[in-house]
Amino acid sequence: MGIFDFTIKRALPAAAIVGPITAWAAITVVNDDWDDYFTPSSSTSNASNASNDSSSEEKIVILGSGWAALNALRKCASPNKSVVIVSPRPHFLYTPLLASSSVGTITLRSACEPLRSLVESAASKALSATFVRADAREIDVHNKKVYATTDADGMGLELSYDKLVIAVGAQPNTFGIPGVQDHALFLKEAEDSAKLHARLLCNLEKASALSSQGEKYRTEIDRLLKIVVVGGGPTGVELCAELADFKNHDVAKRYGTDISDRIQIVLVEMMPQILMPFDESLRNVAKEHLISKGVEVRTGCAVTYADEKDVTFQPSTPRNASAQQKAEAAAAARSEEVGALVWVGGVGARPLV
């Protein structure tokens, strides 16, 4: 069954109940990646709108350089549009490859596409398309202006617009847990992957050097080789699988089994199961797969504090937990030494929005 047949099959029941507007909306929702969206309107009005569009010039400012921003760039690029992309990141990042690049399965540049080449392609279709590397700080909706800075020193830019697309994405959410922002590693940007890769290699080299002294530094070696990943969503699960492959193949080959066998990978999730938005059968398969690769999966476990070398865990409690339940959970808290704490426990809004 083709995609069009599938779409019509999904949309027709709604159309029969409410009418053509619902049919159009249903089709649009079912497949929102179509390049063009046609609202139900007469051919006369369409012709009139096309005439007006061709005679007017419109400046569109797009904030961001991720999936939504580049999709907007592609769809906004037309002869009467002047498009400006504003982002502190000079590349498009293929985020699903971050986990692989953090362990060296692929190079990081394989996950990045220079933004200027994409903007140049759009410029051939639009009146103009430019890229401004800056960080948007404030939006004046009344005067239709965006205020941005080129760096931390506050070199200011003022950009006017006719239409504004806000696609700045999200940032890691630490939920205010003490120490996480300062001591955890993240996996949201290219720089995060590079930092994690550097930490892993650094800890491996230290552990390898210390292991030459026999059992003298056993405790420190165990700490260096313990990796805790917080967040049992798709990113955390994928990262743990990559780390397990890295341990069982690359580390065992280059550092020997004496080192690889001592690596501990722990996946921590505060919910009762990992991959909670997914079907239960998929959750079970993922958990069994991780365990078979040597990953320790802890569910119903929360992080309450993080330091440079220590992480504190305790049983998670529901939001409506009683004072007694919270006290019992706090009493069961314990600290463990870790070599790397990777936080992929959720995302939140950026300061701009």
pLDDT value at position 155?
80
pLDDT value at position 292?
97
pLDDT value at position 23?
37
pLDDT value at position 271?
96
Residues in contact with 50: Cβ distance below 8 Å, sequence separation at least 6, in sequence order: none
CA pair distance 265, 204, nearest whole angstrom: 14
Helix (H, G, I), strand (E, B) or coil at 204: helix
User: Residues 316, 300: contact at Cβ < 8 Å?
Assistant: yes
Quickly list DSSP for 75-102: HH-STTEEEEEEES-SEEE-GGGHHHHH
Backbone phi, then psi, for 55, in 5-degree steps? Answer: -90, -10
pLDDT value at position 308?
95
Helix (H, G, I), strand (E, B) or coil at 275: coil
Strands (E), the chain: 58-63, 81-87, 91-93, 112-114, 128-133, 135-140, 145-149, 156-160, 163-166, 170-172, 185-186, 226-230, 264-269, 295-299, 301-306, 310-315, 334-337, 340-343, 347-349
Mean pLDDT by 10 residues, the chain (353 residues): 40 40 38 42 42 71 96 93 96 96 95 94 93 95 96 85 96 97 97 98 98 95 98 97 98 97 98 96 97 98 97 96 95 98 96 91
pLDDT value at position 55?
55
CA pair distance 39, 171, nearest whole angstrom: 34
Rg of the Cα atoms in the chain: 25
Strands (E), 134-259: 135-140, 145-149, 156-160, 163-166, 170-172, 185-186, 226-230
The whole-model pTM stands at: 0.83
